Amino acid sequence: MASFLNRLWGRRKAPAYKLPNQQKSDKLGASLDSKKKILDPYVQKNRDIIFREITIKADPRRRAAVVYLEGRVDKQVLYEEIFKSLMLESDAGTLQQGAANQIIDKISHTCLTIGEIKKVNLVQDMIHALFDGLTLVMVDGMPEVLAINITGGVQRTPDEPPVEKTLRGSREGFIEDLSVNISMIRRRLRDPNLVIEKTIVGRRTRTDVAILYIEDIADPEIVRNIRDKINRIDIDGISAIGYIEQFLSDNHYSPFPQFKSSERPDKVVAELLEGRVAIMASGTPWVLIAPALFVSFLQASEDYYDRPMVANFNRLSRYLGYILAVSLPALYISLLSFQPELIPYELFVILAQARSQVPFPVLVEVLIQEIIIQLVVETGLRLPANIGQTVGVVAGIVLGQAAISANIASPAIIIVITITTIATFALPNYSMILATRLIRILFILATAVFGLFGFSLGWFILITHLVSLESVGVPYFTPFGPVRFGDLQDTLFRGFIYRLKYRPQSIPVMDRQRQGQQNG
C-alpha cells in the first residue's frame, strides 16, 4: 500500500547516491620520516598501533620500520617471518645487488617468506592498509610501502550453525571471517568458474564484501545488477549484512524477505549451483543469496538429503504450516463470531461452551494471547539459554493453565495459538517467520471487521502483494505466479533428484542443463 501511495505522490526520484569520497590521492614521500609524519597523528592517539623501527641486517645503514595494529596480526608470523627475516636472516649479497631503487622489491622477493604482499604508494592507501589490518614495511629512500597480509588474531572457530540446524547436512557454519567463509565455499565447490569478486562497503567500517557466483551459470544481468547496487552504497558503516540486504531490495514496503540468508556453506553451494548469486560480508556469519523466491523460504536442505517420499511429506507439511501460521487465528475468529453455521454443529457447541465464561470478545481474547506469545518469543530470543527456558516454562503455565482457570482465555484459543506458534516455527527461515508473525496480526484484524470476507480479502491482497514483488528483477512468486509448470516438481513437490535434469526455469541462468542425459 505504501509503495502505491509513493507512486501516487510521484516520489520516484532516483536516490542521490554518491561515490565514496575520494580524497586527494597524494603520493608518498621517499624518506622514512615523511611517512612517519603521516602516521604520527594516528600513532600518538592509538596505543594499539605499533611503529617499530628496525635495522635490516643486509643493509644496516638504511633505516626501516614495521607498522602494524596489535591484535589484528598473527604475532607468531610477524616475529618469525618479518622481524626475524629482516633483522637476522636477510642476505647482504642479494639485497645490495642491482639498483638501490629496487630495494623494496628485493625485500619482498628475497626476505619476506609470506604470500600476500602488495606495494602501496599513496597516502590514503597506506593509511587504509594499516587500518585494514595489514602490516606495513617501509624503508628510507623508497616512495613505496609494502603492505603484508598476516592478519590473524583471535577468531571464532567454525561451529555448528546455531539457527539453521540440520539433521543430515553438514555441521559446519559460517563464521565472522570472510576469508574463512570463502574457503568453506571453495572447498565444497572446486569449479574454476566460481568467481569471487571483492569490494569494500562503508566509508568508515570498510567492511569487506564478496560477491560469489558461478560464471557460466549465473545470469550476467543479475550479477551486474547486484554489483552495481553494492557499489552504489555510500554509507559510513555497516555492522552486519542486513544493511546490504536493505540497500539491495527493490520493494522496501514489504514484510517479506527478498533475499535468502543462510549460515550454512552446503546450502550456499546448492544455491550457487542453481545460478544464484551469494553475497558475503566480513563480520557476519550469514550469507545473502539472491534472487530469492517465495517458495525457497519454505524449503529446507534436508528436502534434498532425504528420500523423496519422506521429503515431499515434510515439504507439504511445511506449506500447511505456512497457511496455518498466517490464517488459523483469523479463521477461528471469523468462524466463531461471523459464520458459526459453516463448521460442524458439535464442534461449534464445544467451542462456544469453552468460551462461555470468558468476558472478552473473541478478537480481544485472540489478541491478548497473540501478544503474550509474541513477547515470550521475543524474550526467549535474547535471554541466555537457561533463563530463557525458565521464562518459557513460566509463560507456558501462565498461558496454559492459569489463564484458563481464571477464565481469561478459553482452552480453544490456547490450542489455536499454540498450533499457530508451532506452525510458524516450522518454517525453515527466520526472516519468513518474522514476516508471518506480522501478517498474521493483519489477518486477525481483517477478519475481526469483515469475517470470512475479510479473510478472503486478506488472502487476495497477500497474493497480489506477493505477485507484485521482485527479487533482483526475478518475479518473487514464481513458479506460482507467473506459473512455471516445469518448476513445480522442485517447489510444490520435490522430484527425484535423477529426474531434475535442468535448473529451475524461474531463475534466469546461462546454462540450464544440470545432469547428463544418461542418468536414471
Partner 1 sequence: MDRTRFEITSKQLIFIIVGTQVATAMLSLPRVVAAEAGHHAWLAVIVGAVFPLAAVFLIVALLNRFRDADFANVSHQLFGKFLGTLLILIFVGYATVVQSVVIRMFTEITCVFILPRTPIWAVSLVCTLSVVYAVSKGAKVIGRLNEFLFYLLIIDLLMIIGAGITQGTYLNLLPVGDVDINGLMQGSLKIVYAYAGCEVLLVTYAMVQHRGEILKAALIGEGITVLIYLMIVVVGLMVFGHEGLQFFTWPVVTLLKIPYSSALGRLELVFLLLWVTLGVRPIMNLSMSASYAFTRAFNLDFNRYYAWIVLGVGAGIYVLSLQPDNLLQVFALADYVGYAFIAISLGYPLLYLLVSVLRRQKSL
Positions that interact with partner 1 (CB under 8 A): 1, 4, 7-8, 10, 12, 338-339, 341-344, 347, 450-457, 459-461, 463-464, 467-468, 475, 477, 480-483
Least distance to partner 1, CB of residue 334, Å = 9
Are residues 214 and 198 in contact, defined by beta-carbon separation less than 8 angstroms?
Answer: no
Nearer to partner 1, 228 or 346 (CB): 346
C-alpha cell at 430: 527466520
Least distance to partner 1, CB of residue 229, Å = 18
Q: What's the CA gap between 471 and 291, in Å, rounded? A: 5
Q: What's the CA gap between 299 and 270, in Å, rounded? A: 12
Least distance to partner 1, CB of residue 244, Å = 26
Cis peptide before 479 (omega within 30 of 0): yes
Least distance to partner 1, CB of residue 460, Å = 4
Nearer to partner 1, 212 or 351 (CB): 351
**Please, what sign has the CA dihedral across residues 44, 48, 49, 54?**
positive
Least distance to partner 1, CB of residue 260, Å = 21
Q: Which of 339, 282, 323, 355 is nearest to 439 (CA)?
A: 323
Nearer to partner 1, 255 or 481 (CB): 481
Nearer to partner 1, 14 or 88 (CB): 14
Q: What's the CA gap between 426 and 486, in Å, rounded? A: 27
Least distance to partner 1, CB of residue 456, Å = 4
Q: Tally the residues of the chain.
A: 520
Alpha helices in 132-193 (DSSP H): 178-188
Nearer to partner 1, 236 or 341 (CB): 341
CA distances (Å), 227 to each of 211, 213, 216, 386, 436, in order?
A: 8, 11, 17, 43, 30
At residue 201's C-alpha, the angle toward residues 198 and 202, to 5°, is 155
At residue 58's C-alpha, the angle toward residues 52 and 62, to 5°, is 55
Q: Which residue has the cell 545470469?
A: 219
C-alpha cell at 351: 467451542
Nearer to partner 1, 107 or 328 (CB): 328
Nearer to partner 1, 265 or 479 (CB): 479
DSSP label of 223: H
Q: What's the CA gap between 413 and 371, in Å, rounded? A: 13
Return the amino acid letter for 330: A
Nearer to partner 1, 430 or 453 (CB): 453
Least distance to partner 1, CB of residue 454, Å = 8
Least distance to partner 1, CB of residue 333, Å = 14
